[in-house]
Structure 1
Amino acid sequence: MARRRYQRGTLRKRGQRDPYWELQWREDYIKPDGTIGRRLVPWKIGDVAKLTRREARKLADEKLRALNQGQYAPQSTIVSADYVERYLVPNFFPTLKLSTQKRYRRTLNIHLIPAFGKARLCDIGTLEIQRFVLAKMESGLSWECADHYRNLLSKIFETAKKWGYHSGPNPAAGIELPEKTPVREKHILELEQIPQLLGVLEKTVRTMVYLALLTGLRIGEILALNWASVDFGIGQIRVVRGYYRGMMGSPKTKCSRRSVPLPEVLRPVLMRLREQTATPEELVFHTSKGTPYNDSNLLHRDLKPAGRKLGIPWLNWHSLRRTHATLFQFAGGSLRDAQAQLGHSKMSTTLEIYTLPMPEQQRVTVEKLSVLMANDGRKDQNPEGPPLASQQIQ
């Protein structure tokens, strides 16, 4: 390792009309190709009229203290747009799912590159990023969008540090967002609405919807399902891939690769479909050409019209998955089982995002509680029937 060079720098006067003290020193920097270069750096200390040479020298020594103590790390001169195109996209994007790559590319092109593309990575600070995400929220974009921008910027600086193009701390790590407030009300189907919905749907879509309600599979997982993944012998469906916006790939997350029980009520329906199949690799649900259905077309052609007809215009594929999560636990399934069934990485996702309270079940539970309280915890009191909680209070 080369010996660290102690520097005092060059202190000199600059300017004729309004002279000022300037300090010059040499420091290492990272070239765009990743190699280390050395450059002359100027720094204006202050006006000659306000500072003596001794005072200017004292400020100069303080400026060079970190450099002389070995606390300085070379900074890259590469601008953000160049780093993204030359290093991030070719070396990081291939590790992502194609759908994630597309989303990241849209975010970079529309939001991040216009805002930070011309700035050097070393010149982008936490304050600039904080102002950026808050401005995006003030323009009408959602909390989720701002959180996505923050996370992608953090990933840019994380990879840049790992690959030697950024030596400072990650400026996106300290970004704070306002408290998240729900924008849209979450809905689930009530039990009596499920047969009504199934009754107005065309056969193929009806089977897909019923499968989604009984298993909690994502629509992309249903569209990617082939017969090789349906095991009638042990009554199991294996989720090994997903179909999203015209691309067949792996499931959304590692935990999404899972096995779920095959609902017995759907067994005869699926077996009849299986009889029309030539090979195990054939899709369970496919167009007349053998290609996967488009989830957006199914939504607007079948699901939305059915929802409007039944007075549930909010109906979509995601509401089916949320309905399954809620009814799964209502039927006695544990939160851990629901997490595994839905393929979530975190139990908090299952509980906080997908599971909604059922008012009628809450009412039944409150009335049971009223009986326990009235009978000092004994359930065998009052054989004529439990009084309502409202009667107990009166």
Structure 2
Amino acid sequence: MAEDAGRADRRRRFGTVIARRRGDGSVSAYLARYSSPVDGRRVQRSFGVRADADAWLHDEEMLVELSRRGVQEWVHPTVRERRRKAVEMTFGELADLYVQSHRRRDGSALRGGSLRNLRTDVRHLKDVFGGCRLTDITPERVSEWYFGEHDGQWVFQRCCQRLKAIMELACSDRLGAGMPLLEHNPFILPVPPDPEPRSWSVPPLTGGQVAALYEAMPEYDRLSVLLAVLVGGMRIGEACALTVDDFDFDACTMEVNHSVCRGDEDAGPLRLGPVKSRHSKRVCVLPSVLVPLVREHIETRRDQDSPYVFQGAHTPILAPTTLGKHFRKAREEAGCPDATFRTLRVTHTTLLMQAGGTLREAMDSIGDSTQQVVLRHYTRTIPEHQRAVVGRMTVAMAGQSEQLQRILRIPADSEVGGSAGTVVPGMPDITALMRVLSLLQERVSAGALPVS
């Protein structure tokens, strides 16, 4: 008993223990504190039991005494805990925490394909660094991986982004629990820029190519080509998710409210899920000439009780993989082997703006809120159109000055590059697409073209 009393006195001489009380007087926690021997700042910890607080102060007193004698350097308890966890934690464990805590920019959790892609990227990194302790991942180790062989440009670029972010997490306190674990991020090399997608070299489709794609597709999903090109520049999952109620024939509109998915974990049966972002949910203008084709398609579906516009041959809803397979086969017959379903989205955006649509209208039509993304990924420069525009600009400027016409040797009545209404041969044109639609509508009405 005397020994216990002596210990209590020594503890009281070093630091203090304060009881935190609730409103009813009961103790909620014991706060143990003392002054740092380095800078005099308060060092404290909270405990649920008084004995634990006393024991902690006893251990800290010994460390402070060793520091005063010059035996060893005193290190703040938080830093000690961080170092201990850094020595014990592996990259694989931290990578799993990264996946679990990763969120979109709006704070929502990843789901479906986005979550699957994140896990795939992290799995590539865990194959290399998974069993390594965080303290063993040095800039030299990262450089060895960085300059080694990789599966492809896109995979390497994404893995660099993930590795940098995971190691940055180790250098932050975003997850709490004793973080940061590292003082410096060992990933000090530049993240490679986005590789240039091969799709950037694929031009927008012409009216003839759209018509050929339409006729080469199976009857029950061919309408998706026209809806994607002329109405909403839809993603393939959005096209498969269209329902009868998404169409308002009186107002000539089509709503994009869903995308087909297999649930948050990207597993299970096909179902209607949310669109990519809140901006992707949109109301699109439905050309009046397209209304009869849509009506006839809906009226001739296999299952009239189903809400889905596009139905699978053996499933209630058309799978995006099935539609993609049909499109890849049709593009060969249509003479545009490099086109993808995404090319329909590019065609819609490019021609909409060339027909006089504003950038804001193009963004609203395809459901994207970022100007840079729309301009970089969904619009293309068409040389024939550019040549015609430059020609019209030249004629317009020369028409303001007879002297300039003489300098350029342009006849007064000349139209270099074509007038404003000229369609340059080989150039995709929205008017040509509308003529294709009218022709298809006439063939349907005459019974020469089956619809489904």
Structures share fold, TM-score greater than 0.5: yes
Aligned to 1:225: 242
Mapped pair 1:145 → 2:155: yes
Aligned to 1:200: 216
What is the alpha-carbon distance in structure 1 between the residues aligned to residue 156 and residue 356 of structure 2?
37
Aligned to 2:225: 209
CA contact (8 A) 2:99 2:118 kept: no
> 1:349 Cα deviation (Å)?
0.9
The 3 A distance-change label for structure 1 pair 199 and 279 is closer
Residue deviations 1:61-99, cap 9 Å, x none? Answer: 7xx7xx4799888343321223344x4455558921121
Residue deviations 1:24-55, cap 9 Å, x none? Answer: xxxx9xxxxxxxxx99xxxxxxxxxxxxxxxx
Out of 21, 34, 37, which is 1:6 matched to?
A: 37
Out of 97, 103, 115, which is 2:117 matched to?
A: 103
CA contact (8 A) 2:244 2:308 kept: yes
Aligned to 2:174: 162
Out of 312, 315, 320, which is 1:287 matched to?
A: 312
Aligned to 2:254: 237
Give 3-state SS (helix, strand or coil) of 2:255's partner: strand
CA contact (8 A) 1:204 1:285 kept: yes
Aligned to 1:344: 368
Residue deviations 1:134-160, cap 9 Å, x none? Answer: 43xx43511x32332233335544487
> 1:329 Cα deviation (Å)?
0.8
The count of corresponding residues between Structure 1 and Structure 2 is 337
> 1:314 Cα deviation (Å)?
0.9
> Partner letter of residue 114 of structure 2?
T
> 1:176 Cα deviation (Å)?
1.2
TM-score normalized by the length of structure 2: 0.63
What is the alpha-carbon distance in structure 1 between the residues aligned to residue 157 and residue 261 of structure 2?
23
What is the alpha-carbon distance in structure 2 between the residues aligned to residue 228 and residue 387 of structure 1?
49
> 1:222 Cα deviation (Å)?
0.7
What is the alpha-carbon distance in structure 2 between the residues aligned to residue 91 and residue 206 of structure 1?
41
Choose between structure 1 and 2 for higher RCO, CA contacts under 8 A separated by at least 6 residues.
Answer: 2
Mapped pair 1:260 → 2:284: yes
The 3 A distance-change label for structure 1 pair 369 and 298 is same
* Identity over aligned pairs, percent: 23
The runs of 5 or more residues in structure 2 that have no matched partner are: 1-30, 39-43, 45-55, 60-69, 263-268, 419-452
The runs of 5 or more residues in structure 1 that have no matched partner are: 8-27, 29-37, 40-56, 390-394
Aligned to 1:44: none
Aligned to 1:322: 346
Aligned to 1:24: none
Give the aligned CA root-mean-square deviation in angstroms. Answer: 4.1
Aligned to 2:91: 80
> Partner letter of residue 213 of structure 2?
L
Out of 369, 374, 385, which is 2:393 matched to?
A: 369
**Of the two, which has the highest radius of gyration?**
2
Residue deviations 1:234-257, cap 9 Å, x none? Answer: 332222221146643211223212
